[in-house]
């Protein structure tokens, strides 16, 4: 059995949330989706998420919402994060932080389940975190006996770290997607070990912006070299995602397709 899984790039602002909720029924039907994961760490005013937003995505058909370095920016989410198994934060934070870093979830219209793991990179982040390489090596023996379908959202800054992480796991997991940098990369592929991969999904939200941020504010931050009040953008909503088809019995990826809606404009003639 081939399972169609959609991974949606970092959702930015309430506008991004509403776009996903509006487009998802049509996308689900078009691609005959079995499973959907969305990164939501930038939903609330561009940093963090809140309970109503997460519930909107889950009610719209998203199976799992993942996070990243902004998972803990809004403290009011902590009680909900602790009790909702479909909301993840990076697994490799120190013990004792709210929430969970992975889960195993039933896949729609099948007898299979998928493990989803949220991890965070180390390079160029100021806050310390446990090594994602060693942490995943310790975690996988717990997951592999339960399901061959393993999906990882690797929330990281450095492309070199993402590729090293991918090669480290290319014959042990089904899919690794990079999130965090908000710019979709052109390297969607299947690794030799049968793992689907993309360095970054890009972001879902207002693209008339500087990676989701108000353009004037972003320019002034660079021109003046002084702090600027963070101001999310609003215009040019776009969804960036990637479709992975996975052989259910083996957990191997057999097909990858990038999805951007609406498409980026490339020709004015």
Catalytic residues: 70
Tokens of residue 25, six digits: 């029924």
Element (H, E) at 56: helix 51-60
Cβ-contact 31, 4 below 8 angstroms: yes
Transcribe 81-130 into DSSP letters: HHH-TTBB--TTSPTTSSSBSEEEEEPTTSS-EEEEEEEE--TT-SS---
- Spatial distance between the Cα atoms of 163 and 199, rounded to a whole number of angstroms: 7
Compute the distance between CA of residue 22 and CA of residue 18 in angstroms, rounded to an integer. Answer: 6
User: In 3D, which of 5, 53, 10 has the Cα closest to residue 27?
Assistant: 5
């Amino acid at each position: 059995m081939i399972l169609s899984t959609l991974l949606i790039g970092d959702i930015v602002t309430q506008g991004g949330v509403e776009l996903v909720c509006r487009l998802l029924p049509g996308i689900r039907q078009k691609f005959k989706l079995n499973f959907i994961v969305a990164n939501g760490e930038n939903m609330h005013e561009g940093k963090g998420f809140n309970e109503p937003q997460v519930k909107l995505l889950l009610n719209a058909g998203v199976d799992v919402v993942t996070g990243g370095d902004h998972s803990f920016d809004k403290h009011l989410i902590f009680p909900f994060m602790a009790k909702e198994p479909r909301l993840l934060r990076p697994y490799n934070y120190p013990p004792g932080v709210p929430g969970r870093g992975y889960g195993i979830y039933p896949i729609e219209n099948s007898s299979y389940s998928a493990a989803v793991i949220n991890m965070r990179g180390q390079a160029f982040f100021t806050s310390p975190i446990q090594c994602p390489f060693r942490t995943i090596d310790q975690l996988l023996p717990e997951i592999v006996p339960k399901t061959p379908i393993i999906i990882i959202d690797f929330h990281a800054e450095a492309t070199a770290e993402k590729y090293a992480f991918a090669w480290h796991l290319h014959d042990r997991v089904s899919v690794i997607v990079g999130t965090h940098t908000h710019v979709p990369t052109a390297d969607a592929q299947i690794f030799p070990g049968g793992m689907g991969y993309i360095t970054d999904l890009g972001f879902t939200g207002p693209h008339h912006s500087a990676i989701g941020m108000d353009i004037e504010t972003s320019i002034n931050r660079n021109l003046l070299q002084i702090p600027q009040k963070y101001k999310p953008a609003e215009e040019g909503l776009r969804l960036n995602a990637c479709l992975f088809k996975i052989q259910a019995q083996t957990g191997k990826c057999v097909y990858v397709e990038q999805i951007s809606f609406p498409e980026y404009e490339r020709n004015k003639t």
